[in-house]
Amino acid sequence: MQEVVFDKRVQQLVNSLVSSGVKDLVPLYDTAYGYRYPFVEELLGLGPIETANLLEELAEKGVFRKSLYLRYVICPRCKSPDVAPLFKCQHCGSLGLRRRILTESKEGRIAEVGEEEEPFITQKGLRVVGMWFLCENCKKMSDEPNYAFLCRECGEEFTLREALLRDAYRYTLNEEFADILKESLMLYAPIRELLEERGFIVEAPGMLMGSSGVSHRFDFIAYRYKGGDRKVYALDVASRDAPIEEAEVISLFVKVFDVKPDKAILVAVPGATDRALKLAQSYGIEVVLGKDIEEAIKKLGEAIP
């Protein structure tokens, strides 16, 4: 089982996305931080940078698919994302450019109109056949203006070549992960509850140091104190489409052999092969079988007095 499933923040975030039917986390623009994820920030009580780091981490772990949403411009001097585009005359650099539009009527009459006429072009049944920019300053025409940027924060003016560019990402929920999470929450939450009811202190997942000096991870480690006596149970859960095979038993045995808990339990849904069961018996691993989650929990209750 992936550890990320046990992360409370992940559970909260994925549950909230699934229940609201939202699959995409699309960043929103903010003049101070650039693009950020207010939905996630509010839900988890995190700041914008922590949130971005968390989403990055969850994309690496397969919870989200990450794709480029856009690249945006940052001021090279003060690093502010609050940047305005500038359109300049190709000839004199003036900002006083006006669009000029060439129109054609149904009868084939060609006419040049200014920006102020634009709202009426379709209304009058005219067709746009050309466009250029006229400079108020030098009176020359430009096909395309030159582009530049103005930082609203510090007033720096810069070109695209000088600009800093930053990436903003869209995070799309990996449906496969949402299913895994849903299933495991259905199984893991009741197991934890059961263990706690029986007086155990539960770590899920839990790490135990073996005699080899290696730490091993179990889905659950449960401690129970009676008098001065401490009992340690190690549990792994295997929930698949098909019965659990020997490999599952062997991988648990390798850890159990090193750690030597008082009891090792493998919870197997929807069951286990005969060979896997025999192997478990010879290894001293107790296998709790359930054809479904409900039955597995009931059987686990019987296995843990």
Q: Which residues bind Zn ion (CB under 5 A)?
A: 75, 77-78, 80, 89, 91-92, 94, 135, 137-138, 151, 153-154, 156
C-beta of residue 81 within 8 angstroms of C-beta of residue 175:
no
Q: Residue 29 contacts by C-beta under 8 Å, 6 or more apart in sequence?
A: 35, 72, 81
Q: Give the tokens for residue 96.
A: 């006083």
Q: Of the two residues 92 and 178, which places its CB atom closer to Zn ion in the complex?
A: 92
Q: Of the two residues 110 and 154, which places its CB atom closer to Zn ion in the complex?
A: 154
Find the helix or strand (DSSP H, E) in which 111 lies.
Answer: strand 110-114
CB of 34 to Zn ion, least distance (A): 13
Q: Of the two residues 162 and 193, which places its CB atom closer to Zn ion in the complex?
A: 162
Q: Of the two residues 163 and 202, which places its CB atom closer to Zn ion in the complex?
A: 163
- The string of DSSP letters for 136-150 reads TTT--EESS-EEEEE
Q: Give the tokens for residue 251.
A: 């991988």
CB of 163 to Zn ion, least distance (A): 11
CA gap 300, 281 in Å, rounded: 16
C-beta of residue 110 within 8 angstroms of C-beta of residue 205:
no
Q: Of the two residues 95 and 232, which places its CB atom closer to Zn ion in the complex?
A: 95
Q: Is 220 exposed, middle or buried (0-12, 13-18, 19+ CB in 10 A)?
A: buried
CB of 139 to Zn ion, least distance (A): 7
Q: Of the two residues 164 and 303, which places its CB atom closer to Zn ion in the complex?
A: 164
Q: How far from chain centre, in Å, is Cα 38?
A: 14
User: Prior bond to 119 cis, omega within 30?
Assistant: no
CB of 72 to Zn ion, least distance (A): 14
CB of 84 to Zn ion, least distance (A): 11
CA gap 150, 129 in Å, rounded: 32
CB of 81 to Zn ion, least distance (A): 10
